[in-house]
Structure 1
Amino acid sequence: MRWGPATLYSLKTAAAAFAALGIALAIGLPMPFWAMTTVYITSNPLSGATRSKSIYRVMGTTIGAAVAVAMVPALVNWPALLSLGLASWVGFCLAVSLLDRSPRAYVMMLAGYTAAIIGFSSVDRPEAIFDTAAARVTEITLGIVCITVAHSIFWPLSVGDRLGPRLHGWLDDAEQWMRDAVAGNPDEIADRRRLAVDALDCIALATHVPYDTSHWREATRVVQALLYRMLLLLPLLSGSVDRRAALGDDAVLEEALASTDRWLEAGAPPEVPDYLHMAPPERDWRGLLRESFLVRLTQSATVIAECRQLLARLDNPDVRVPDELVAERIPLKLHTDPGSAVLAGLAAMFALMLICTFWIWTGWVDGAGAAAMTAVFCCLFAALDNPVPAIINFGGSIIASVPVAGVVLFGILPHIETFEMLCLVLLPICLVAGVFMMHPRYGGTATAFMVGFGSGIAITETYTADLARFINTNGGQVVAVAVAVGVTATFRKVSSESAIAVLVKRLHADLAVLAGARTPPDPNRTLVRATDQLALITQRLTDDSDLSVAGLGEVRVALNLVTIQHLRVNAPRAPRVALTRLLRTARDHFATSQPGDAPPPELLGQIDKALRLTLDGPMPLPETAGELIGTGALPHALIVANRAQGRAALVAMRRNLFPAAPAFALEGPSPEVTA
């Protein structure tokens, strides 16, 4: 963390918080501290991220307030039914939000726990529910406007300032990977898998680009095209590495390898070497491996060159790129887990019903606060495999703020007479917390501290402080943490190993669906989903265990299956029948086997038979490269030669599924696979 930018960020955030608090006090809003707390919840160092989060927060708050207004007056006379209604709404909203891993998910999550906050706090005064909801929406909107203005006008930090260097660094790493493939260096698989995680991180960060304050906002389509190519490079480069390792030293490839070195040293210009004409076609297994390597090398170089062009456009808006590079919007839909989403929703619902039952049974005066905070704790970290440590850390930070809030509330605020004096008293605490909000490790802790501190002092237009109520209210937060942790640990605690096993199994299920599709699947969605699953697996790995086997190889298999599906549709009868049998066997294998199981030997024979047919005659392919490799945004990028491309997909399938198999035989049945 750099202290200069962190201090500037803290000053801007504190100024926005005091502005929101001052305006709320001036216009007589009932709970001005909500506006101040909202500033710290919404604030983000990136102006684009702050703006996008602000929009979603206003939408979610409004929806949640409307649900509370509709539900509380109708059910207030039936406490159990009202509790069930609000708990069901929170659980439903949480489950829906987890089915969308973009920032849009914030809308439904906030709609859930906002209804709980407003609804539970209004059960004693249901006739004032509309005023309470209107105040909540107004004060939150005020806080959002203040923080958005502060981060948009005063020294804004662009998303491009953060994303640009990451994209450059990622592409540099990809080019180094290509150099390693050309040189035949051992593949550092752990480092290469990290590229998948980094690519998905860039995709998540890029969701804020449309709300940015720089020229990147007008280049959203360029960013999307670049991100797609980054994902595409992962299987292409890993395939190149695999073929190169299988070939070893090969004098025939010397010209191609030297040309690649010169091309990379020249800065990866758009003119890609004509690799396929640098080696004579041969009909033996080594010749097929060599051809497959050159196909993947051509594709990798083409995509890297296009990435360089797109990145240059992002660096300088005056740079022109060919229209076909950004001709089509590419969907970047990420993987979701409906089962985990439903389980998280049920856990939140059960936790709320448990705390509400205790509240109703004991007649606890301040049980509403505990119920509301239980909803918040269950929702905020539901996307994690094991939310318990995060809930404990966040809840503990809120609880840790209580003594500080108590000292300020009872020892200092009684002597404050003006708003200016109030700001001076609060400024040191706000500045220190704001600085630590920029810290990658302590940012969440600092935010939680400010949420607890703002709610603890609960500044209103008239000073009122009740020690018994202060202790009772904040004691409710301890109960909320305990209930959220207990229920979540019962419903949701999943080890990293179990999560990886589930992801690998789901990846194999997706491969079965791809192989069994009657019509060629959409390669765009296939690539994004498979790469995202690889990134999710990688994020959970602590070492290179056997669970990491289903990595880049499965992503390559997914794209090869899609390519073979397209080949099957356009092939003559004999190869079409061979490819259909191949796909059927692959479907049965992936649908019934466990991760790590060897494919059936007959699949090897079917791949070899299809390979022989590509040697005997042409294998017609789709006319456009968009159909071939899955994106209309690449009309010329990856098409190299009909028979070469068809053979490359089959050779890749053979290498990915049977890496230890004997060499392909031009005549006769394939040899048996040995262990």
Structure 2
Amino acid sequence: MRAAHAWPEELKKASAAWVMAQAPVIIYMLKLTVAVLLALGLSLRFDLSKPSTAMLTVIIVMQPRSALVLAKSFYRFLGTVAGVMLSLLLVACFSQEPTLFLLAGACWLALCTAGSTVFRNFQSYGFVLAGYTLVIVGLPAALQPDQAFDIAVTRLSEVMLGLLCAGVVSDVVFPQRLSDSLLAAVRRRYADFAQYIRRDAAHAASGERTMLRFIGEVISLEALRSSSVFENPGHRLQSTQLRRLNTAFMTASTTFHSLDQLLMRLQNAGKQAALAALLRQYRAITDALQVDAAAAAQQLRALRLRLPAQLANTRSAVLAAAGDKVDSQALLDFDSASELLLRFADELLAYTLTHAALLGDGDTSLADDTTLPAHYVPRTDPLMVLFAGLRTATAFGLSMLFWILSGWPSGVEAVVLATVVSSLFAAAPFPSRTVRHFIIGAAGGGLAAFIFAYGLQPHAENFVMLCLALAPFLLLAAWLAMQPKYAGIGTGMLFFTLNYGALDSAYSFDALSFFNGLIAGLIGVGIASVMYVAIDPADSRWVKRRLAGALRRQVVLACRQPLAGLMPAFESATRDLLQRFAVSHELDNEDDREVLAWLLSVLEIGRAVIHLRQDVQPAAAAAVERCVRSIASLFTKPHPARRQAAIDAALQAIAECQAMPALSANLHLIRSSLLDETSVLAALAVNSQTKDQYRAA
């Protein structure tokens, strides 16, 4: 009997838990549907020629958080205005010269798509919009030059209406504030990092995946930070603090990795006494981290004052225990680890102070003196930029050629969809896969549009019934779009349902025109898909070699660039390179793991070089300069002889800097990384023959 009475209660609890877990998705589905239907209603009220433009604008800019909607709307507006102005210019210049119009349009599309891969976040989307607005406004205007201005104003009005509907609904209906999400993410990262560094150092298990996750969080927080100012002008101070916090976290996490690698080398060398002594000091630092960042900062500040003396006493005890059997290499490892412990304590203190100041738990003036704000510096392979522009220009040219040669009136739909899809997903992590999913969604959206336009819309006697008929298709597509696995399918379904659903002020359904337009649209998406397959080297070994070269150049920049602002620029650019690689590769692949291992080695060597240049003293300036030059030479043009020269230069500099612990610690880190064959081969080798050459050397 108890079991019979218990199951309804258990079902109720399970249902409540499911609703709570799915609440963000459900809210987003409802807001998207309401905003789309509002845009439809207003478009019909104002008698706009293409309500689908306003509705598709809502689909594109709608985001779970209000600030993200405003940010994306802002850049969509700028991109649309730029695209409209360029369209009018091209129509004025080349309306009677189709070939010149085609060439100029292809160049504009290539330029805008290339810009979308260089910039990040919604700035990237602004470039996409500036590009494909050409085919939405420019092509119809070129076909009717006498109505070009009216077409441009109408399309711009439809876009603005869609932006207004998305912004109002997002900010009024169950508003989700970005600042709340940012602070929650900051707290979560602080707790995760504290837990991560408390684990036993010199551990056996690899922490590569965790480090990769931290790198991704730096980039995602930077993306959210750049949009938070749209929510409230007062968030500009918070934005500066977040930028400072990201910089502090990057430096602390990189130092932790260097320290962790050094402690692992002590463990592998069997130096248990030195390792145990260092771990006691390390655990004292990590145990100081608490949920309350302000209290943790106070403990870290007190610990940092005692740490130099404690490390000196520990070193004396290790030397006394070793007696006459002192291992100079192990002693150098110990001294280097001691310097890293001091640096890690300083950077962890800066991170906790900035974290406390951001949350309003500490003295902000203390945080202001620890870490200066620095802009996040992205890096993009120029050839990848070139390929993105070439892909969109080629898709535009092929679809235009198909339209002209076929003389098919509906061919313009193929041009529009080929151009939009080839530019819209240019910056996606897996563009080929995303477009394949989009095609599936497009086919489903075409079927939904037919069912709605032919079977349901004729029976809708008023606007309310029209909304009730359309809402199920919107809800289904919105749910798919919110699932990472089916996001491309949901997006394609939304696009084609609204584009071909006969949603005009005066209802008319012509089956022949419908299927002509639908087939042309699918052909356009197919052309874009072929272009992504043909010009998408994202997963090739060639791209990995390009990445290795880009990472090598980061070390060269660390050796040669002016020191002002170099450290945060180096950190952010290197992490951005890895993040763009990691989102399109699997760490289960051995080659991909080599690249990740090399990224961490690049961070270690590059930061050590920058610290060398910052801490250099006149007595050691010549030796340090020779070492830095040899490292720059090695990473500019890899060769076994250059590698050995860099190792020898580091050894010579270590011998001259024995009385300078900070310099010798960084030199030792560089030498140890250069001696690590696995990471050096991943970075310097370009093929198996070169690997054999390095191993033989």
Aligned residues: 633
Paired residue type of 2:605: V
Structure 1 residue corresponding to 2:240, chosen from 221, 224, 232:
221
- Superimposed CA distance per residue, residues 80-120 of structure 1 (whole angstroms, 9 cap, x where no aligned partner): 22222212211111112211123212111110001122122
Say whether residues 1:278 and 2:278 are aligned partners. no
Paired residue type of 2:310: M
Paired residue type of 1:407: I
Superposed displacement of residue 315, structure 1: 3.9
**In the aligned structure 1, how far is the partner of 2:349 from the partner of 2:519?**
60
Structure 2 equivalent of residue 562 of structure 1? 610
Gaps of 5+ in 1: 617-642, 662-672
Structure 2 residue corresponding to 1:430, chosen from 474, 494, 497:
474
Say whether residues 1:370 and 2:414 are aligned partners. yes
**In the aligned structure 2, how far is the partner of 1:360 from the partner of 1:223?**
52
Structure 1 equivalent of residue 630 of structure 2? 585
Paired residue type of 1:270: Q
**8 Å CA contact 1:530, 1:558 repeated in 2:** no
Say whether residues 1:652 and 2:696 are aligned partners. no
Structure 2 residue corresponding to 1:394, chosen from 438, 441, 444:
438
**In the aligned structure 2, how far is the partner of 1:521 from the partner of 1:258?**
32
Query: In structure 2, the residue corresponding to 1:457 is in which secondary structure?
Result: coil
**In the aligned structure 2, how far is the partner of 1:497 from the partner of 1:551?**
16
Residues 609-624 of structure 1 mapped to structure 2, 5 A cutoff: 609-616=652-659
Structure 2 equivalent of residue 413 of structure 1? 457
Structure 2 residue corresponding to 1:159, chosen from 178, 193, 208:
178
Query: In structure 2, the residue corresponding to 1:477 is in which secondary structure?
Result: helix
**In the aligned structure 2, how far is the partner of 1:502 from the partner of 1:288?**
35
Superposed displacement of residue 185, structure 1: 5.6
Structure 2 equivalent of residue 263 of structure 1? 288
Residues 591-606 of structure 1 mapped to structure 2, 5 A cutoff: 591-593=636-638, 600-606=643-649
Structure 1 residue corresponding to 2:37, chosen from 2, 18, 26:
18
Paired residue type of 1:563: H
Would the alpha carbon gap of residues 106 and 265 (structure 1) be closer, same or farther in structure 2, given more than 3 Å must change?
A: closer
Superposed displacement of residue 36, structure 1: 1.7
Would the alpha carbon gap of residues 386 and 437 (structure 1) be closer, same or farther in structure 2, given more than 3 Å must change?
A: closer
**8 Å CA contact 1:255, 1:278 repeated in 2:** no
Identical amino acids, percent of aligned pairs = 23
**In the aligned structure 1, how far is the partner of 2:339 from the partner of 2:371?**
24
**In the aligned structure 1, how far is the partner of 2:136 from the partner of 2:449?**
21
**In the aligned structure 1, how far is the partner of 2:264 from the partner of 2:649?**
24
**In the aligned structure 2, how far is the partner of 1:24 from the partner of 1:317?**
49
**In the aligned structure 2, how far is the partner of 1:239 from the partner of 1:120?**
56
Say whether residues 1:449 and 2:449 are aligned partners. no
Paired residue type of 1:658: L
**In the aligned structure 2, how far is the partner of 1:178 from the partner of 1:5?**
32
**8 Å CA contact 1:386, 1:493 repeated in 2:** no
**In the aligned structure 2, how far is the partner of 1:255 from the partner of 1:410?**
75
Which stretch has the larger CA shift, 301-310 or 115-124?
301-310
Paired residue type of 1:576: A
Superposed displacement of residue 555, structure 1: 0.8
**8 Å CA contact 1:386, 1:492 repeated in 2:** no
Paired residue type of 2:215: A
**8 Å CA contact 1:385, 1:495 repeated in 2:** no
Residues 337-356 of structure 1 mapped to structure 2, 5 A cutoff: 337-356=381-400
Residues 146-295 of structure 1 mapped to structure 2, 5 A cutoff: 146-180=165-199, 182=201, 186-212=205-231, 218-248=237-267, 249=272, 250=274, 251-253=276-278, 255-260=280-285, 262-264=287-289, 268-272=296-300, 273-274=303-304, 275-280=307-312, 284-295=328-339
**In the aligned structure 2, how far is the partner of 1:644 from the partner of 1:491?**
51
More relative contact order in 1 or in 2 (CA 8 Å, sep 6+)? 1
Superposed displacement of residue 385, structure 1: 6.5
Structure 2 equivalent of residue 625 of structure 1? none
**In the aligned structure 1, how far is the partner of 2:447 from the partner of 2:279?**
71
Superposed displacement of residue 326, structure 1: 7.6
Structure 1 equivalent of residue 590 of structure 2? 545
**In the aligned structure 1, how far is the partner of 2:538 from the partner of 2:364?**
49
TM-score (norm 1): 0.87
Paired residue type of 1:134: V
Paired residue type of 1:116: V
Structure 2 equivalent of residue 621 of structure 1? none
**In the aligned structure 1, how far is the partner of 2:291 from the partner of 2:391?**
56
Paired residue type of 1:566: Q
Which stretch has the larger CA shift, 547-556 or 198-207?
198-207
Q: CA-atom RMSD, angstroms?
A: 2.8
**In the aligned structure 1, how far is the partner of 2:221 from the partner of 2:426?**
22
Structure 2 residue corresponding to 1:82, chosen from 79, 101, 118:
101
Would the alpha carbon gap of residues 228 and 598 (structure 1) be closer, same or farther in structure 2, given more than 3 Å must change?
A: farther
**In the aligned structure 2, how far is the partner of 1:567 from the partner of 1:10?**
55
**8 Å CA contact 2:612, 2:624 repeated in 1:** yes
**8 Å CA contact 2:350, 2:367 repeated in 1:** no
- Superimposed CA distance per residue, residues 394-424 of structure 1 (whole angstroms, 9 cap, x where no aligned partner): 1331232112111211222223332222112
Query: In structure 2, the residue corresponding to 1:464 is in which secondary structure?
Result: coil
Would the alpha carbon gap of residues 346 and 279 (structure 1) be closer, same or farther in structure 2, given more than 3 Å must change?
A: same
**In the aligned structure 1, how far is the partner of 2:515 from the partner of 2:677?**
68
Which stretch has the larger CA shift, 338-347 or 279-288?
279-288
**In the aligned structure 1, how far is the partner of 2:205 from the partner of 2:365?**
35
**In the aligned structure 1, how far is the partner of 2:135 from the partner of 2:459?**
35
**In the aligned structure 1, how far is the partner of 2:511 from the partner of 2:279?**
81
Paired residue type of 1:585: S
**In the aligned structure 2, how far is the partner of 1:138 from the partner of 1:318?**
48
**In the aligned structure 2, how far is the partner of 1:599 from the partner of 1:160?**
50
Would the alpha carbon gap of residues 125 and 328 (structure 1) be closer, same or farther in structure 2, given more than 3 Å must change?
A: same
Would the alpha carbon gap of residues 194 and 674 (structure 1) be closer, same or farther in structure 2, given more than 3 Å must change?
A: farther
Superposed displacement of residue 316, structure 1: 4.5
Superposed displacement of residue 320, structure 1: 4.4
Superposed displacement of residue 43, structure 1: 0.5
Say whether residues 1:133 and 2:178 are aligned partners. no
Superposed displacement of residue 321, structure 1: 5.5
Paired residue type of 2:251: L
Query: In structure 2, the residue corresponding to 1:433 is in which secondary structure?
Result: helix
**In the aligned structure 2, how far is the partner of 1:160 from the partner of 1:214?**
12
Paired residue type of 2:445: S
Would the alpha carbon gap of residues 514 and 467 (structure 1) be closer, same or farther in structure 2, given more than 3 Å must change?
A: same
**In the aligned structure 2, how far is the partner of 1:432 from the partner of 1:490?**
32
Would the alpha carbon gap of residues 123 and 417 (structure 1) be closer, same or farther in structure 2, given more than 3 Å must change?
A: farther
Structure 2 equivalent of residue 98 of structure 1? 117
- Superimposed CA distance per residue, residues 510-536 of structure 1 (whole angstroms, 9 cap, x where no aligned partner): 223433457777222111111222333
Residues 322-337 of structure 1 mapped to structure 2, 5 A cutoff: 322-325=366-369, 328-337=372-381
Structure 2 equivalent of residue 635 of structure 1? none
Say whether residues 1:505 and 2:549 are aligned partners. yes
**In the aligned structure 2, how far is the partner of 1:530 from the partner of 1:579?**
23
Would the alpha carbon gap of residues 37 and 252 (structure 1) be closer, same or farther in structure 2, given more than 3 Å must change?
A: closer
Would the alpha carbon gap of residues 196 and 221 (structure 1) be closer, same or farther in structure 2, given more than 3 Å must change?
A: same
Superposed displacement of residue 254, structure 1: 5.9
Which stretch has the larger CA shift, 521-530 or 156-165?
156-165
